[in-house]
Amino acid sequence: MKILIIYGTIEGQTRKIARFMEEVLQEAGHQVTISNAMEEPPAPSNFDAVVVGSSIHMHKYNNATKQYIMDHVEALNGKPSAFFSVSMAVASNIPEEHEEAEKISKDFLEQTGWQTSTVWQIAGALRYTQYDYFKKLIMRMIAKKQGGATDTGKDHEYTDWEKTKKTILGFINDIG
């Protein structure tokens, strides 16, 4: 099966997740093309399935990802497709954080007109070592509120790789 993965990332975790999905699918014998939405990603028309992912920052998704979806919404709605949303809210033990992440995804899909019924919420990472002083303080405060890691001397990854592997393989097996 020919699969296209498009991702939009700010700090790199969404790219890391997309690359992981690419490896998993290639190991399963699929032909995978992966592209950053900020570059010139291919149109979905020549692929059997499309997976698009973006991270949530400040309650919004990556603009390039949104534009890609809007530019290709007709093709996306006409074939098997999935959206993966990456956020720290998913790592939170506060139910309202999960509900908010799901609402942001739902609203985003409505705004773009993309009618995929396959949406995955995936926990991201805290990249404290990459943040400037003020962002580090803000992210530490948010992490503390959500019960996350507050040690700013190192990065903290919350992505459940085994669940991500099962999710992407399940999606492809269901449509294949």
Per-residue pLDDT, averaged over 15-25, amounts to 98
- At residue 159 the predicted structure's pLDDT band, cuts being 50, 70 and 90, is very high
pLDDT at 14 over 90: yes
- Asked whether residue 113 falls in the same domain as residue 134, the answer is no
* pLDDT for the residue numbered 104: 97
Residues 48 and 77 in one domain: yes
Output the pTM of the full model.
Answer: 0.91
Q: Are 170 and 149 within one domain?
A: no
Q: State yes or no: pLDDT of 112 exceeds 90.
A: yes
Do 27 and 82 belong to one domain? Answer: yes
Q: What pLDDT sits at residue 131?
A: 85
Residues 60 and 8 in one domain: yes
Report the domain count for the chain. Answer: 2
Q: What is the CATH number of the domain that holds 56?
A: 3.40.50.360
User: Do 92 and 111 sit in the same domain of this protein?
Assistant: yes
> Of all residues in the chain, what percent carry a pLDDT higher than 70?
100
pLDDT of 114-158, one tens digit each? Answer: 999 999 999 998 888 888 888 888 888 888 877 778 888 888 899
Q: What was the pLDDT predicted at 155? A: 86
Query: What pLDDT does residue 176 have?
Result: 73
Structure token digits, residue 148: 């996350």
